[in-house]
Amino acid sequence: MSSLFSPLKVGALTLPNRVLMAPLTRCRAEGANVPTALMAEYYAQRASAGLIIAEATTVSPRGHGYPNTPGIYSDEQVAGWKLVTDAVHAKGGRIFLQLWHVGRISHPDYQPNGELPVAPSAIAPKGQLWTGKAMADYVAPRALRIEEMPGIVAEYVRGARLAKQAGFDGVEIHNANGYLLDQFLRDGTNKREDGYGGSVENRARLTLEVTAAVVSIWGSDRVGIRLSPGGVFNEMHDSDPQRTFSYVLGELSKLELAYAHVTRVTAQDIAHGAKDGVGPQQLRHCFKGVLITAGGFDRPQGDAAIQAGWADAIAFGVPFLSNPDLPRRLEQGLALNTPDESTFYASGAKGYSDYPFAQ
């Protein structure tokens, strides 16, 4: 029986185990959103993961919505990420970069020239964000014009090309958690009446265009995509998620991607209004390739999902944050370090690169 500790072929790679590191925003970039030597140390410590999926990384200056998050649109950022990939590869690891654009989850303080954030429709999310100076309400974004869509695709293409220059082993397209591509996909945030709105086929158009374009840079066997069908983070919802995500996964399956990364609904999601019922178990049949899932798994749950066939690998988030040697700890039944939540989005090494390895 396959388990978390059996090898797995994922596109062009053969992973030594199925304990993957989920993308985790940590806000440790510096200056002009440039990765640092500290980030290289952090990722190299976690190189025993079957695959590291590096933190969400913006493909455009317009794509930012949080402080000190890295980008992949400048030569300086490429050089910073090269420190990371070289360090991971020196430890025998494998690492993909997650390509990101936050869309409406931003503020003019993050935007070039103080402009409005962009989105499929001019609908402000509820709530507030940290601008780097103070808490502020989200603003109503500017709806993208249809003639701007090729430019959005081009930003992802540039990010994909620069990720290759930076030495990554592949890329994951961030199409989850209420960010730009997810905003287009779901009818709760997409009220357009042109070729990118209305029907599920139209709402999925940007996702499929971006994915095909990124595949043209990397080849399908080094491209994955992340989706959150039941997620409600960033005030997301869809009137028929089963239909929406069945369609998009079926179309993505035709591209023969390295994997689809589909999150399950967690207790925290349900507490915020999610419905438990649309996730990797219900959607497994729609995608013919490798399916990765994430969402609060422990070792028994991960093994059970793999053995039942509705997942091929498990991405761990917080446990990897506080346990750089997580695969060994899980395999040997060793105690896990307790994460320090106060340092999740802080700066410096504390709560980042200083968690101990098991003795």
- How far apart CA 348 and CA 28 sit, in angstroms, is 7
Cα 37 to its chain centre, rounded Å, is: 22
- How far apart CA 275 and CA 295 sit, in angstroms, is 14
What is the number of residues in the chain? 359
CA distances to 137, 202, 304, 323 from 207, rounded to whole Å, are: 28, 10, 31, 33
One-character DSSP codes across 126-151: SSEEE-SSSEEE--PPEEPPGGGHHH
Q: Is 138 known to be catalytic?
A: no
Cα 103 to its chain centre, rounded Å, is: 14
- How far apart CA 86 and CA 93 sit, in angstroms, is 10
CA distances to 31, 46, 53 from 89, rounded to whole Å, are: 25, 11, 14
CA distances to 49, 119, 155 from 148, rounded to whole Å, are: 38, 11, 11
- How far apart CA 180 and CA 359 sit, in angstroms, is 43
One-character DSSP codes across 197-220: SSSHHHHTHHHHHHHHHHHHHH-G
Residue 30 token pair = 């510096």
For residues 96 and 50, the answer to whether their CB atoms sit within 8 Å is no
Query: Angle 268-6-11 (CA atoms, 0-180°, nearest 5)?
Result: 80
41 forms beta bridges with none
The active-site residue out of 179, 196, 352, 355 is 179
- Please list, in sequence order, all residues whose beta carbon lies within 8 angstroms of the beta carbon of residue 9, skipping any fewer than 6 positions away: 15, 290
Which residues are designated catalytic?
A: 179
